Chain A
Amino acid sequence: MLRELLSPKTESKRVDGERPANFNVLVGKLSEVLVRAVDKPLGYAINWGRLWSLWPVHLETACCSLEFGAASGPRYDVERFGIIEAFGSLRQCDLMVVQGTVTRKMAPRVRMIYDQMPEPKYVIAMGACAITGGLYFDSYNVLPGIDGVIPVDVYVPGCPPRPETLIQGCILLQEKIKRTRFR
């Protein structure tokens, strides 16, 4: 984002012929220096902001939503880790917890919801069904995992996973965000 703003290409279009030729080169070098100086701390700050305010989409796909609800309850309380209970628009969300079985009817909708979320977005596959199909591996209407539908960041095994397991999955995702280079 920062690179695009400071890139010499956009600058040259506007000031063509009005300024000395080497001005663009100068701006380009200056922007590179700026990006190098600002990118790392700024990226760190933005990543830090992201990882402590993950907003999950309110999307249940099957029974694991029960344990997701319990994780938001007072005993487990995922808000301690910056995962906020999901009751809002998916256009403001950046985390999708696929809570269980994805059926043939639900899969296009899951993809549609994922496409509507703004970047950057992360996906947690919760439960055995979302990972491989789980107990329903031989059912005629169940997808063998959601890997073919959306990219997954963290897999949380269990049937259903205990709330502690889900919290550990969230912490793993935060580790991942922390180490990702800011885009």
Chain B
Amino acid sequence: MGIEMERGRGGEGGEERIPGFELEGRDEDGMDRGILTLSVGPQHPGSGHFRLIVKVDGDIIVEALPDPGYVHRGEEKMCEYRNYIQNIPHLERPMIADSCGILYPYVLAVEEICNIPVPERAKYIRVIMAEINRCIFELYWLGIYGIFLGHSTMFMWPMADRELLIDLAEMASGARVTHAYFVPGGVRNDLPDAFPEKARRHLLYFRNRLKEYKDIFYDNPLFQARTVGVGILRKEDAINLGATGPVLRASGVEHDIRKVEPYDVYDELDFDVITMKEGDSFARAYVPWLEMYESVDIALQALEKMPSGPVRTKLGPNPKGAVGEVFKRVEAARGELAYYLVSDGNPKPYRVKLSVPSFREIPVMAHLLRGAKLADMPSIYWSMNYWPVEADR
């Protein structure tokens, strides 16, 4: 207590109020209780372009108020004055690390509302690309997670392995990250002839490489000291606060849209839903690693089963939607990603609503930060799989 009093005296006499660094609350005898209000972000070495207003009492976070919206670009409004095909490029920009994942439900929704059939081969190609993109995203996120916990090796290794998978995606679509590869009625172009062989080779190499991550990263005492037992999310809280994806599965809830509501050909492929019971930051980092094994397996299976044939249904220049509404969801790398699309019969959608997983992690993050240590903030923040560009849309 004495130490706190001493520290509180430093900020007495509230004339010098620096914005973003404020003292508030006093005891009965007029001393500062020493609750600091800190503004973390939008420029901060430990966070993205997202602001957290954090109230700390000593080293403990009393309250964390998220302030998103720094990258709000009006995607949903822009959808209303472009037609269905023109919407593809800008709808994948919110999350270009996982550009297939974020475009997937839109394409499914447009196919349903415009009544477009999809060739069988295109469904398999979509699954392959979605799983490769899932790995690309998880690797990028692992790298960022590693470097924000002071583990530079963990930045370099996934970034290097990621390039192999990016090569595959680039071979298929022609672009490094913004593929715009999924279109209503299939995929934009067929895979090159050399793709299946190269993909098999790269994916098998990548699966062997994943084992080394456990030695260098997950078994590392430095990483474990900062994540094990930090930010524990109980199962009930995870469900009540609406967590999705790896965050939900790390708390022991077996929920995966690929199993619950299979789309395209996921019901024909064999894979497991990874869950862990702990619900701490370590589990939230460990689940994606295990999921990458599953992703590689899914992609390899799909490569085996892929039939030959056309990959795209020919469309008119400006497909019109039937009057009505459609709700489609998929399991993107960060969790459940849903599109709600309303059409009034015009070539342009009447309303497009994105429900993105990152935005749903904000209340979970605020819940976990309450009562945590300030030094644990980066560990909790980055374990949430929170991406401001996607959350703000």
Which residues from chain A sit less than 8 Å from chain B, CB to CB? 57-63, 65-67, 69-70, 72-75, 87-90, 101, 103, 105-106, 109, 113, 135-136, 138-142, 159-160, 162
Contacts and interface: CB of A to CB of B under 8 A. Distances in A.
B226 interface: no
B72 A87 contact: no
Given A63-B389, A73-B160, A106 B140 contact: no
The 8 closest A-B pairs by CB, nearest first: A73-B159, A139-B74, A74-B160, A135-B90, A63-B96, A75-B163, A106-B70, A60-B49
Interface in B46-85: 48-49, 69-74, 77-78, 81
B73 A103 contact: yes
B93 A135 contact: yes
A164 to B, nearest CB: 10
Contacts of B43: 57-59, 90, 109, 113
Given A58-B43, A74-B160, A113-B43, A135 B89 contact: yes
A interface: dominant SS: loop
Contact of A63 (B42, B93, B160): B93
B10 interface: no
Interface residues of B, number: 36
Contacts, number: 98
B interface: dominant SS: helix
B252 interface: no
A122 B73 CA distance: 26
B97 interface: yes
Contact of A66 (B49, B74, B89, B140): B140
B160 A139 contact: no
25 contacts: A59-B43, A61-B71, A62-B49, A63-B93, A63-B96, A66-B97, A69-B140, A69-B144, A72-B155, A72-B159, A73-B155, A73-B156, A75-B159, A75-B163, A87-B147, A103-B72, A105-B70, A109-B42, A135-B90, A136-B73, A136-B74, A140-B74, A140-B77, A141-B74, A160-B177
A58 B70 contact: no
Given A103-B71, A106-B42, A109-B43, A67 B78 contact: no
Contacts of B77: 139-140
A70 B96 CA distance: 13
Contacts of B81: 138
A62 B73 CA distance: 10
Contacts of B147: 87
Nearest to B41: A109
B45 interface: yes
A110 to B, nearest CB: 9
A88 B162 CA distance: 25
A126 to B, nearest CB: 13
B255 interface: no
A69 B389 contact: no
